[in-house]
Amino acid sequence: MHPKLLLATNNTGKVKEFRMLLAGVPFELVTPKETGIVMNVEESGATYRENARLKACTLAAQSSLLTLADDSGIEVDVLHGAPGVLSARYAGENASDIERVDYLLSKLKDVPPEKRSARFYCVIAMAKPDGTVQFCDGECKGTITVKPAGVTGFGYDPVFYLPEFGKTMAELPVEIKNQISHRAKAAQKAKMLLLKMANTA
């Protein structure tokens, strides 16, 4: 019986991604829904790190389980790093992925291709019920396309173009995305920490 690791998200896209990214860790990955916890944490932090810590610590205290939370966003250079931590709420509180993408593209409608550089950034926080937290981060650089392309992934993936692959994040095979994405890079570091924890338990 492996100890449980609570993923502090009910976003099905993220849960699926984390189950793949953390495959092989000696923990049973569970969600708030599966453990009967109502996830109601206001992401009031000014940074990804603060938001990830808020979610991880709150749910670790509620569940008495080791908890992993992430906060991530897309940062567009010409928009001075926006939407950043507000990525999920950029087009309004309950906007869909499509609405968020359309809103971002509308902000860039007069910006030429060479000025559309951007990056995805992710911070993972892992909190124990006693309040101790460890952080891992990852980033992925690219540019913003003029229109969406691709159907895999979620969020801003269809407009995040990776010049070295000649594709958007949403056009990449999952196996490639899970090696090069911001979340993949942060999760690789988290995986090392989890393996270390399991070995010292």
Q: Could you confirm whether 130 is annotated as catalytic?
A: no
Cα-trace Rg, the chain: 17
Contact in structure between 122 and 158 (CB atoms under 8 Å): no
Q: Checking phi first, is residue 74 left (phi over 0); if not, alpha (psi -120 to 50) or beta?
A: beta
- Catalytic pick from 70, 71, 137, 157? 71
Contacts of 57 (CB under 8 A, 6+ apart): 67, 125, 127, 131, 133
Measure the CA–CA gap between 66 and 86, rounded to whole angstroms.
26
Measure the CA–CA gap between 187 and 123, rounded to whole angstroms.
9
Contacts of 161 (CB under 8 A, 6+ apart): 142, 143, 144, 145, 167, 168, 169
183 sits in which H/E element: helix 182-200
**Catalytic residue positions, numbered:** 71
